[in-house]
A and B are shown apart, each in its own frame.
With several copies, the nearest count.
Chain A
Amino acid sequence: MTSSIIARVRQKRIEQLISLGKRLDERGLTDYREVQVEVGVIEKAEGSARVRLGKTEVLVGIKIELGAPFSDVPDKGVLTVNAELVPLASPTFEPGPPNENSIELARVVDRGIRESEAIDLEKLCIEPGKKVFIVFVDVYVLNYDGNLIDASALAALAALLNTKLFKYAVKEGEVQIKPGYKPLSIRNHPVAVTFAKINDKLVVDPGLEEEQVMEARLTMTIEKDGKICALQKGGAGYFKIQQILEAGKIARKKAAELRKLVVKK
């Protein structure tokens, strides 16, 4: 009971601040927390990146393996995104199979990459209908302090840009690994920007406490030319059309800023 009183006081405080255009950690409503990106942190993976968004910390590792294509797209490689909310990251994360939160996280990250056609999946086909490369994007949440989607999408993009593909030759239907690597061909750069609606106002990059009091959540993933390539509304509340259109404008600006942190000129 006491803790719920404290929670309500805290909620009031967050809402009051936001109505004044302020936030608990003194950010502006459309400011991101400090973003740190580090790539190549897992040498054994084909690609990897760690992103810190304030105290939220996500590691993405990329593995590339041989496998069979889907029967309805026999001439394309396969992209598989998985997210693990490992119990390291929060007292609320339980070990076990993916739950709806980790599935949603993985699928929103997946959608941004897939719909922006960031990976040239045609180039990952070795033998149509038989053998293709499978790109495994594993999102590993190490510390949870809110806004996992943006941190994960950014880490996934940074990791993909850092991914090397081994060279190979096909001899009599068998794939032979050859020495050396080439970078994985990445032709678009989707960046997710997430909004929380609190007290009917929009804030970007919600922290954990903000997530706990937000009415609803909206993620817009923006590709390199400013197009929207994925959307996801979450949470128990709703948005007005006007809010969504306003969010779109902010998202394009924010996505461009974040993109600079991972895409080298």
Chain B
Amino acid sequence: MSKKKVKKLINGKGIRYDGRKLNELRPIKLEVGVLDNADGSAYIEQGKNKILAAVYGPKEVHPKHLAMPDRSLLRCRYHMAPFSVEERKSPAPSRREKELSKVIREAFEPSVFTEYYPRTSIDIVIEVLQADGGTRCAGITAASLALADAGIPMRDLVSACAAGKVEGHLVLDVADLEDKQGEADVPVAYMPNLNAITLLQMDGMLTSEEFEQAINLAVEGCKQIYQLQKEALKAKYVEVKEAKKEDAEQ
């Protein structure tokens, strides 16, 4: 976290620079089934984040020696497009991208019934087309929908959201500028029905009281996002049903 304060981010009334209240999410747009080739896919816009997620699988594992006799191999690739950030990013995966790929995969491990598909792999691909803070969380939110869209059985959807500390205030859904100038960022992935935290990281510094508030705030955010995810799935389901009806009527 850079401590250089470039701009006042929260005004006296507790309103953030983008007009949000402290515990308010950015506008979120979710779409399910947006890519033709993938077995499942979803698109998320959250603030200026624009992220695509795709799922391929369950499918034959390549290379074969990675196949597991008792469950499916879950793989994940989190990747940012070269043009997604201020300064062009080399398309070769950075250390950051490799770490996030790992923790995102681990965020889905508790969700997916991998034991249903031994000797296969399920590949999650997250491509950040435009980054605006909180890409790992938004990527997880989208990827969970892509898994559902692919028909992969899950214990629960995974919803993800960060809380953070900015200019002394605990805030929900940390935006890019808040992340850069703020005091802490706590990304959380959560399965609401199981009360299970499946990803937890933190940059910054928080007292234990602040941390407790932050994690509760993030979990509240996850629950709101969970509702949006279910609506997005329902919208897709309805769309498909209507399309089928139309087909039948023709």
Contact = CB atoms under 8 A, between A and B. Distances in A.
Contact of A248 (B56, B186, B211): B211
B101 A240 contact: no
A218 B203 contact: no
A240 B200 contact: no
Contacts of B101: 100
Given A91-B59, A240-B196, A229 B204 contact: yes
Given A44-B83, A228-B211, A238-B194, A143 B110 contact: no
Contacts of B82: 61, 63, 82, 84, 136, 138
B181 to A, nearest CB: 12
B104 to A, nearest CB: 11
B138 to A, nearest CB: 15
Residue of A41, A57, A100 with most chain B CB atoms under a 10 A cut-off: A100
Interface stretch (A30-38, A103-111, A256-264): A103-111
Given A84-B91, A138-B81, A227-B205, A238 B127 contact: no
Contacts of B129: 41-42, 59, 61, 140
A116 B201 contact: no
A234 B106 contact: yes
A213 to B, nearest CB: 15
Nearest to A218: B200
A141 to B, nearest CB: 10
Interface stretch (B46-54, B224-232, B233-241): B46-54
Which secondary structure dominates chain A's binding surface? Answer: mixed
Interface residues of B, number: 65
A199 interface: no
Nearest to B4: A73
Given A237-B109, A240-B196, A231 B84 contact: no
A103 B200 contact: no
B206 A228 contact: yes
Given A63-B88, A65-B87, A104-B99, A238 B110 contact: yes
Contact of A45 (B83, B125, B132, B212): B83
A100 B99 contact: yes
Given A103-B98, A143-B37, A237-B110, A228 B208 contact: yes
Contacts of B91: 82, 84, 138
Given A82-B91, A103-B95, A236-B106, A231 B200 contact: yes
A230 B187 CA distance: 11
Given A144-B37, A238-B194, A42 B95 contact: no
Interface of B: 1-2, 35-38, 41, 48, 50, 52, 54, 56, 59, 77, 79, 81-88, 91-93, 95-96, 98-99, 101-103, 106, 109-110, 123, 125, 127, 129-132, 186, 191, 194-208, 211-212, 215-216, 219
23 contacts: A43-B130, A44-B131, A55-B37, A61-B129, A65-B88, A82-B82, A88-B54, A88-B127, A98-B95, A100-B99, A104-B102, A111-B203, A115-B203, A115-B205, A140-B127, A216-B110, A227-B205, A230-B202, A233-B106, A233-B200, A237-B110, A240-B196, A244-B215
Interface of A: 41-45, 48, 55, 57, 59, 61-63, 65, 71-73, 82, 84, 86-91, 95, 97-98, 100, 103-104, 106-107, 111, 115-116, 136, 138, 140, 142-145, 216, 218, 223, 226-241, 244-245, 248-249, 252
8 shortest interchain CB distances as A-B pairs: A61-B83, A236-B109, A231-B202, A238-B196, A63-B88, A233-B200, A45-B83, A138-B82
